[in-house]
Structure 1
Amino acid sequence: MALFPLISNFQYDFVLQLLPVDSDNTMDEIAAAAAHHSVGRRVAPRPGKVVRVRRQGASEFFARDCRLSDTDVRPMETLEFIFCEG
């Protein structure tokens, strides 16, 4: 377990956010942390949608139960948080 800084690029948000997470967090936990800083502030809630995580510019999402420590994501890398069907 270690503090791990990421950059959040949340869908429909115009602000990139510094997102401190834990290296043992799952992608769902990281998505929830990113949503906390964007949804209801600058991004409208999207009931029934799930927020998925991918590298900036990638087309494939990380598995929702994948732990950050099991990826090759680097500190301060930008991740995209996208609303998807539940």
Structure 2
Amino acid sequence: MAVVPLAAHFHGDFVLKLLPVETTNTMDEVAAAAAANSVGIHVPGQPGRTLRVRKQGVDAPYARESTVAESGLEPTECIEIYYE
């Protein structure tokens, strides 16, 4: 288990944030961590909608149960978090 700092862009937020995550975190956990820094602060919540994570510039999201280690994301790579 290791910490990987990712650049996170939450859809609708105007601030790119540094998000430290563990290599064992799932994409659902990554999305929740990013939401804690944006939802209710810069982005309105959307109850009942699922948060998804994708690598910046890629259309398809990661599988929700896949881990940071499995994604192959490198430190400071940018991810996008959005409501599905």
TM-score where L is the length of structure 1:
0.95
What residue is the counterpart of 1:44 in the other structure? 44
Q: Does 1:82 align with 2:82?
A: yes
Of all paired residues, the percent bearing the same amino acid is 46
Kindly report structure 1 stretches of 4+ aligned residues shifted beyond 3 Å.
Answer: none
**1:61 aligns to what SS in structure 2?**
coil
Runs of at least 5 residues in structure 2 that lack an aligned partner in the other structure: none
What residue is the counterpart of 1:56 in the other structure? 56
What residue is the counterpart of 2:11 in the other structure? 11
Q: Distance in 1 between matches of 2:39 and 2:81?
A: 11
What residue is the counterpart of 2:67 in the other structure? 67
Residue 72 of structure 1 and its aligned partner are, at CA, apart by 1.4
Q: Distance in 1 between matches of 2:71 and 2:62?
A: 9
| RMSD, aligned CA | 0.5
